[in-house]
Amino acid sequence: MTKRSPAHWMMAIATAVVLTACSTVHPEPLPAQGSPPAGLGGVQGDTLDPNWVPAGFGTLRQDDIALKTSPSTGLQVRAIPLDERIIRLLSPDSYRSLRELQISKEAQLLAIKERNRLPAYSIWYVSFFALEQGETRFSPQEFIISNTGRDFRPLDMVPLTPGFGEYRLKQREVQSALLVFDGQIDVNQPVTAQLESTPSVTDWNQVLQRIERERALVRSRAAAKR
């Protein structure tokens, strides 16, 4: 047996430590605002941002973070920002369903990225619901989000329901799509929306207060779990 020098064994131990560290699984950086797990926005989230919280500890419902408008008595619109920092505050089932929804549409969302070539995108899950009998028409291109002193129109959209592209609804019918906006929308600032010149009925400041309360609770639950 060949005798090894102390220097040789020190080198072997150091190499083993490095290899062990490299094999440790680290959490993947969180996606940027509005981005699906694949990184539609192209910019990774800052894990030091205080708005990031662990997933799986939220209790909010989708309606708790929705922006709603009713441009006519026969049409209602609900829009949910698919910002990772916000949807992590939803109940685990709701969070999982929205993440899986984004993953299922990853190819279409990345194609939109290639066409528009912007550094980041804001994705909204928007549903149109008809109340009245007969046919109700809607125009998703006219769903305008106002934020940070600007009006944002959809850059593109990914239909989620059959017949969405016909832009009409029967009574009690729902049509949904992912609407993709410029990533300069900041959902941590006041947000309003309008359709057919009718402003949203949601007070986003109240939504933000609800979000902040839930963030504090999520941190507390996560800390207790650890």
**DSSP characters over 171-185:** TT-EEEEEEEEETT-
Is 34's pLDDT higher than 50? no
Give me the amino acid identity at 24.
T
pLDDT in tens, 7-25: 444 444 343 333 333 332 2
pLDDT in tens, 108-145: 999 999 999 989 999 999 999 998 888 999 999 999 99
Please tell me the total count of domains within the chain: 1
Rounded CA separation 178/187 (Å): 16
CB proximity list for 143: less than 8 A, separation 6 or greater: 77, 79, 126, 153, 154, 179, 193, 194, 195
In a domain, 14, yes or no: no
What number of CA atoms fall less than 13 Å from residue 159's CA on the CB side?
10
CA-wise closest residue to 30 among 47, 17, 16, 13: 47
Domain region containing 156: 62-218
Residue 196, pLDDT score: 84
Average pLDDT rounded to a whole number, residues 48-68: 92
Encode 142-163: b = buried (16+ Cβ within 10 Å), e = exposed. ebbbbbeeeebebbbbbebeee
112 neighbors 121 (Cβ within 8 angstroms)? yes
Q: At CA 105, angle to CA 101 and CA 109, rounded to 5? A: 125
In a domain, 157, yes or no: yes
Alpha helices in 39-158 (DSSP H): 84-87, 92-104, 106-116
In a domain, 51, yes or no: no
Checking 200-208 for CB contacts under 8 A at 24+ apart, the result is 200/67, 200/68, 200/69, 201/68, 201/69, 201/70, 202/66, 202/67, 202/68, 202/69, 204/67, 207/64, 207/65, 207/67
In a domain, 47, yes or no: no
In a domain, 223, yes or no: no
In a domain, 4, yes or no: no
**CATH at 174:** 2.60.40
In a domain, 31, yes or no: no
Look-up: residue for tokens 């609770």?
217
Give percent above pLDDT 90 in the chain.
69
Is 44's pLDDT higher than 50? no
Is 1's pLDDT higher than 70? no
User: What is the chain's length?
Assistant: 226
pLDDT in tens, 138-189: 999 999 999 999 999 999 999 999 999 999 999 999 999 999 999 999 999 9
In a domain, 192, yes or no: yes
